[in-house]
Amino acid sequence: RHAARVAGWSGPGRTGDGVEVAILANVADGSSARAATDHPVEGVGLFRTELAFLERAEEPSVDEQAGIYREVLDAFDGRKVVIRTLDAGSDKPLRFVTHPDEANPALGVRGDRIALAHPEIRARQLDAIARAALEADAQPWVMAPMIASPAEAATFAAQVRERGLVAGVMIEVPAAAILAPAILAEVDFVSIGTNDLTQYTMAADRMSAELASLTDPWQPAVLHLVATVARAGRDQGKPVGVCGEAAADPHLACVLVGLGVTSLSSAPVAAPAVGARLGAVTLATCENAAAAALAATDPAAARAAVAAVLDSDE
């Protein structure tokens, strides 16, 4: 019964009682963006721009970058596109940015922190995004990865707004989740990166197969941080998305919506299952599922409690 609904689901994302929750795609370039349009997604919730930079001997020019960004904007012609600025450094080193060997790369000069020593790289990337937006006649949202403080969010937002663009940040460092009210006050929206938020909350490398039970996004500690961010978003009337792979898990997606998350972005193949599951439950059921997950003390208990709540509303 459920399988048939999944196959037939064609969007847009909403709960069974009509609360809209945009279901979006994570993409990396023009070709993955064009491929994503074959799936029932309403836009792009995370455009990982680093692909254009990695493995390069030199920084791509503003022109070249604008062309790459434009391809994604054109693929989604007029629909929502959230562009993330460069998330490289450390374990994803840039050959044209020299930095010392770091003992703890995941805690090092990565993501938005590259702009500390190289503000011109971020400035040129924002120029390229603004140019692509103008040429495509689009209004992309622009967000920074690995933001850890309200001051970092404010600096980034000022540079984005100078170029007439909508400014946001990713919440993937626990400090940023804890201070979500102050961070949201600086920006127009936030998007929670549950992959890194889980890694940093649980102090467990997201690439470690041995630590997979710790890097499980069903960890209630992580969900409590998501709840903090979503509550701040609701209080300030600003969108709070999730763009980590947690958004690809249909039951966890219902929990995220129950916590107050307003959009879900993941690998586009996940959209039909997530959309169908969400459409089968009411917002009140999602809220009950969220409460059950927050009351659990480990991922297995959270999964079981949420399954019981969701199945009772089928």
Specify binding-site residues for Mg(2+).
Answer: 172, 196
Tell me the CA distances in angstroms from 148 to 3, 44, 103, 113, 286, one per residue in order.
Answer: 41, 24, 20, 10, 29
Active-site residue identified among 243, 246, 253, 310 = 243
Looking at beta carbons only, is 87 or 112 nearer to ligand PEP? 87
- Polymer length in residues for the chain: 314
Tell me the CA distances in angstroms from 97 to 27, 54, 93, 106, one per residue in order.
Answer: 24, 11, 8, 17
How far apart are the C-alpha atoms of 173 and 199, rounded to whole Å? 9
The answer to whether residue 286 is catalytic is no
87 touching ligand PEP, by CB under 6 A = yes
27 touching ligand PEP, by CB under 6 A = no
196 touching Mg ion, by CB under 5 A = yes
Q: Which residues pair with 189 in a beta bridge?
A: 168
8 Å CB contact between 196 and 91: no
Cβ-based neighbour number of residue 293 at 10 Å: 29
CB of 21 to ligand PEP, least distance (A): 18
243 touching ligand PEP, by CB under 6 A = yes
When binding is defined by CB under 5 A, the residue of 193, 217, 260, 275 that contacts Mg ion is 193
**Contact stretch for ligand PEP (CB under 6 A) within 11-19, 69-77, 116-124, 187-195:** 187-195
Strand bridging mode 43-48 / 80-84: parallel
CA 286 to chain CA mean position, Å:
20
CB of 312 to ligand PEP, least distance (A): 30
The phi, psi pair for 81, rounded to 5°, reads -135, 125
Q: Which two tokens stand for residue 312?
A: 């009772």
For ligand PEP, the nearest residue by Cβ is 193
**Contact stretch for ligand PEP (CB under 6 A) within 136-144, 194-202, 269-277, 306-314:** 194-202
CB of 34 to ligand PEP, least distance (A): 20
Residues acting as catalytic residues: 243
- Point out which residues bind ligand PEP (CB under 6 A): 46, 48, 87, 172, 193-196, 243-244
